[in-house]
Each structure stands twice: as C-alpha cells, then as structure tokens.
Amino acid sequence: MSTAEPKTRSPAFPGRISLTDVEPGELRAACQNALATGARMQMAYAWFPDRSSQPEVRYLLHWRGRHPLQLWRTRPQADSLPSLAPLAPLLSWYEREITELCGVTFQDQPQPDPLVLLPGARATRPPLIPGPPVSLEYTPAAHSGLPEMTGPASGDVQWLPFGPIRADVLESAQFDFFYLGEAILHYHPQLFFKHRGMEKRFEGVRPELGVVLAERVSAVGGVAHALAYCQALEAAARCTVPPRAAYLRVLLAELERLYNHLHYLGHLCHTTTLKVGEAQGKYLEELAKQMNARATGSRLLRSLLTPGGLRREPSLAGLTQALEQIEREYLPYAAMLEASTTHLDRLITTGHLSPQLAFDQGATGPIERASGLDRDLRRDYPYAAYGELPFELVSSEGCDAHARAQVRMAEITRSIELIRCIERELPAGAIRAPCEPQARTEGLGWAESPRGSLYYAVHLNDIGTLARVKIKSPSFSNWRVFPFTVHDSNMMDYAINEASFGLTIAGCAR
C-alpha cells in the first residue's frame, strides 16, 4: 500500500480528506511510514456498517504540512487488529475504548485494562454493537492498574485516593496519588465516572436534532461541539453554508473561546491564591456570559447552530460596547497578572511538558501550542469563515504552566480582534441553506475548541438517521498527556498544574 496514493476517494470529503483502505496486516508498516514523515495519528474509532455485527475501524491522520487529512479504513479479522499503540502511544486510549465499546481487540496492546467502564462494571455486550438495549451491572472493585510499593521505604509512601466528589464545585473524577512527603511518585486519574454513553445516545436520532446532544457533550465547549457536528453533516450532504452564517459561526466560536479563557485565568489565580485576580477573572467571565445571553439568548451560546447554517439571527446590537468594556478591563488585568511575582513564581517551571511528549501523547490546543507545537485547525484546515479572516497563530516555547496561561491570554486578544473584524465585514444574506444528508452517507467535521482539536465522525444509516457519531474531544487528548507532567512533581503544585491545563471531565468521559 502506498500512503501517498489513496486507493479510493470518498465523494463525501471533497479535497480535504482522503479515504484509504488498509489491510490489517499492513497497518503497522503504514503507521511506521506515516510517523517517519512526521505525521500524527489523530484518533481511531470503530463502527458497524449496515447494522451488521462486522466492525470497521477508522484511523485519522494529520500529515505534516498542509496535506489533506487522511482516513484509513480497515476491517478487523475475527474482531482483532494489531495494536498501533506501541508505535503511536496516543492511540492507546482509543484502542482500549474500542475494545470496551465495540468489542474489537488489539494484539499486543501495552495496557489492555478497561478505560471507560470502571473496574467492576460489566455490560451485557459492548454497548456500541447494534442490537437490543444494553444493561450495565456494577459492583465497585479495586483498580488493578495501581502500582504496588515495595522496598525499604515503601512504608513511608502514602496513598491518597482523592474524589470522585472533590472539594468546591468541580466535576467528578478520582485521583490516586502515591506520595512521599511532598513528592508525588505516581499519579493515576480515573476520569470516567461521568461516562453517560453520549455516542450511543446519538444512534437513531434525526440529524437536525443531534445538535441538541452535541451542545450537551461538554457544555463549555458547546459551540465547538455543535459546529464540528454540523460540519460533519454538511460534508455528508455536500451542503455549503451561506457566507453570513459562516461568519456568524466564527463569531460564536470566538465568543466561546473568550468566556472560557477568562474563566481559565480566574481559576488559575484561585489556585495560586491571588484573590483579587480570581475575582476579576471570574467577573470578566460573567460580563462575557451576560453579553452572550443578550446576543444569543443563551449564556453558553446554545440553540443557534444547525446543519446548514444558523437557526436564527443573533442580535448584535450592543455587542461592540460590551466587548469594549471587557477589553478595557481585561488589558490592565492581564498586564498585572504578568507583573505579579507571587503568581508567576507558582507558574514558571510548573508542569513541564516537552514538545516531544506533547506530540507523542497527543496534546492539543493551547497545551501543545505552549509546548512549541505549531498547530491550530483554524489555520491548518480552515472551516466556517476562518479561511477569509486574518488569523495569527499563538504559540510559546515555554512548555510550563506560565506558557499555557500566556498562550490563552494572547488568544483572548486575538478573539476580540476577530470578533471586531467579523462585525465590520459581516456579509448580508441568508443564514441557512438546506442540508439533507442522504441515507448511508458519512462526513467528518472539526473545530478548534477553546481546549483544542475536536472531531466528529458521523455516519447515517439506511433511513437517514444517525448510525454512529464518534466524538474526539480535546480533553480526552489532553487528559492522556496531563499525568506525565504530574509524576515526580510535588503536591503543592498539583492544583496549579491541573488548572493550567484547563481540562473538562464531561468532554473526556462523554
């Protein structure tokens, strides 16, 4: 097989994606070749074409440079495939998830334990295999992947299981720390207490209603989720969104980035105990959310996106002034954060993430850009109106918590500039085009959410409702990376490091 010359090209992905059939026996060689040229595996998922019990596994690749995205399609033999995780470590979580949810096993998987279902949970069958409703039995059991401490000082090592209900108003997750004094020897997050079966929930839903679900996968990334979902259906239907709707979609996506990044700064100050900085960051977030409500009727910018465009016009009167007020308060705030030595002392060198580790383990969004990786879907694979708007990628070589905060601070300024630009250049015209994907079509959609790259792969069944929706969320990628920055760090820095990643659990657990 030649990776450069795709054998088949799906009409659903004109120009931007190529679809290539790969035999299971050729997978490893193909993966090795791709990685050698600097390509990155982005995600893998399985689905069941024609409601059969014969799975098909897909891999998504991002070639170095501006090549089209590439999808590999393979049919497992006897429900088994060679594991690619030893070559591309970030695929490990995807493979484990496919095993649990779709029943495909991977030979030589380096870490074959369940990922999504908790120890002690047993489903009547892997939930995504077509068939009658699945039920889940659960008897809580100890996690088998925790290390055993031996040796002369092992009695001094403390084990702290923290969560799943944590102090403050936070999402549920359990973190196991093994520590000696202040030093963290080992850290294991259990992130899937909140697994709701969202991907299964899409099955059988009419495409235009699926957006209600997409907005509720991770609420604070709702615009990006809805946008990637709608774009996947638009690719399936070969529908072009009217220019006005494309510009307004960018506006919504940047408003989402704005309130998320402001929240991020407030929360980061909370962990460094900079009280006024926390209050100001969260106040600015509140101003942004109230601005969202006045513009769209929803503080979280919900209920506007739909396959084909927008459901209704947002009301842009007053947006300019609200944005001005936020910017007027934000600029001195950002300058003061960057001049606060007690704050900076806690951030600089904290949670170091090397460019190599960020690349290999799949870091995305502001996290990878803060570790020197120059990637952003808005620039690399422009969607909506990003290709027509000025865009400047923000990155940093700092690789630490401070760099991650700086990237987000610079992105706030860029978002405000982009919103202003859209206000000036917004084309007139319709905001919705008919989007009626045919039965048995498929599409891939993506968006750069505030937390990084987000992909939706959508397949329609023989009656035109949703057969399979795969969600690759940025937090799923970044949670995979995060523990590598925790091992060998210290307890005092943990909360700061976690806040500097700005992760969600709902997006990861789905």
Q: Which of residues 184-223 bind another protein (CB under 8 A)?
A: 192-198, 200-201, 205, 209, 212-213, 215-220, 222
Interface region with another protein, contact rule CB under 8 A, candidates 66-74, 128-136, 176-184, 423-431: 128-136
Binding mask of the shown chain, residues 244 to 263, with x at each position contacting another protein by CB under 8 A: -------------------x
Q: Which is nearer to another protein, 40 or 96 (CB)?
A: 96
Q: Pick out residues in 330-349 that bind another protein (CB under 8 A).
A: 332, 336, 339-342
Q: Which is nearer to another protein, 55 or 277 (CB)?
A: 277
Contacts of residue 302, defined as CB under 8 A and 6 or more positions apart, other chains included, come to 215, 222, 226, 296
Between CA 469 and CA 458 the distance in angstroms is 5
| Beta bridge partners of residue 443, listed in sequence order | 458
Report if residue 493 touches another protein, rule: CB under 8 A. Answer: no
Contacts of residue 90, defined as CB under 8 A and 6 or more positions apart, other chains included, come to 40, 41, 360, 361, 362, 477, 480
Q: Pick out residues in 398-457 that bind another protein (CB under 8 A).
A: none
Interface region with another protein, contact rule CB under 8 A, candidates 132-140, 361-369, 430-438, 458-466: 132-140
- Report in angstroms how near the CB of residue 198 gets to another protein at its nearest: 7
Interface region with another protein, contact rule CB under 8 A, candidates 3-11, 270-278, 344-352, 361-369: 270-278
Give the SS3 label for residue 47.
strand
Q: Which is nearer to another protein, 73 or 216 (CB)?
A: 216
* Gap between the terminal Cα atoms of the chain: 35
- Report in angstroms how near the CB of residue 314 gets to another protein at its nearest: 11
Interface region with another protein, contact rule CB under 8 A, candidates 45-53, 89-97, 142-150, 275-283: 275-283
Among 49, 79, 86, 286, binds another protein (CB under 8 A): 286
- Report in angstroms how near the CB of residue 112 gets to another protein at its nearest: 21
Report if residue 293 touches another protein, rule: CB under 8 A. Answer: yes
| Beta bridge partners of residue 174, listed in sequence order | 190
- Report in angstroms how near the CB of residue 295 gets to another protein at its nearest: 8
Report if residue 266 touches another protein, rule: CB under 8 A. Answer: yes
Torsion of CA 1, 457, 60, 403, to 10 degrees: 170
Q: What single DSSP character describes residue 117?
A: S
Among 4, 32, 38, 136, binds another protein (CB under 8 A): 136
Nearest residue to 197 (alpha-carbon basis) of 117, 106, 266: 117
Q: Is 507 left (phi over 0), alpha (psi -120 to 50) or beta?
A: alpha
Interface region with another protein, contact rule CB under 8 A, candidates 152-160, 272-280, 398-406, 477-485: 272-280
For the packed helices 275-296 and 319-337, what is the interaxial angle rounded to 10 degrees? 160
Find where tokens 């079509």 sit.
441
Q: Which is nearer to another protein, 104 or 220 (CB)?
A: 220
Q: Pick out residues in 40-69 that bind another protein (CB under 8 A).
A: none
- Report in angstroms how near the CB of residue 39 gets to another protein at its nearest: 32
CB 127 within 8 A of CB 200: yes
For the packed helices 401-425 and 491-501, what is the interaxial angle rounded to 10 degrees? 20
Among 18, 42, 478, 504, binds another protein (CB under 8 A): 504
Query: Which contiguous run of DSSP H or E holds residue 159?
Result: strand 158-162
Q: Pick out residues in 149-178 that bind another protein (CB under 8 A).
A: 164-165, 167-172
Q: Which is nearer to another protein, 333 or 359 (CB)?
A: 333
Report if residue 273 touches another protein, rule: CB under 8 A. Answer: no
CB 223 within 8 A of CB 252: yes
Between CA 269 and CA 422 the distance in angstroms is 31
Between CA 433 and CA 447 the distance in angstroms is 20
Interface region with another protein, contact rule CB under 8 A, candidates 75-83, 142-150, 283-291, 388-396: 283-291
Q: Pick out residues in 360-399 that bind another protein (CB under 8 A).
A: none
Q: Which is nearer to another protein, 123 or 185 (CB)?
A: 123
CB 395 within 8 A of CB 406: no
Between CA 67 and CA 230 the distance in angstroms is 23
Give the SS3 label for residue 449.
strand
Report if residue 141 touches another protein, rule: CB under 8 A. Answer: no
Among 87, 121, 157, 433, binds another protein (CB under 8 A): 121
Find where tokens 């510009």 sit.
247
Among 37, 107, 240, 315, binds another protein (CB under 8 A): 315
CA distances (Å), origin 308, targets 121, 393, 479: 40, 28, 33
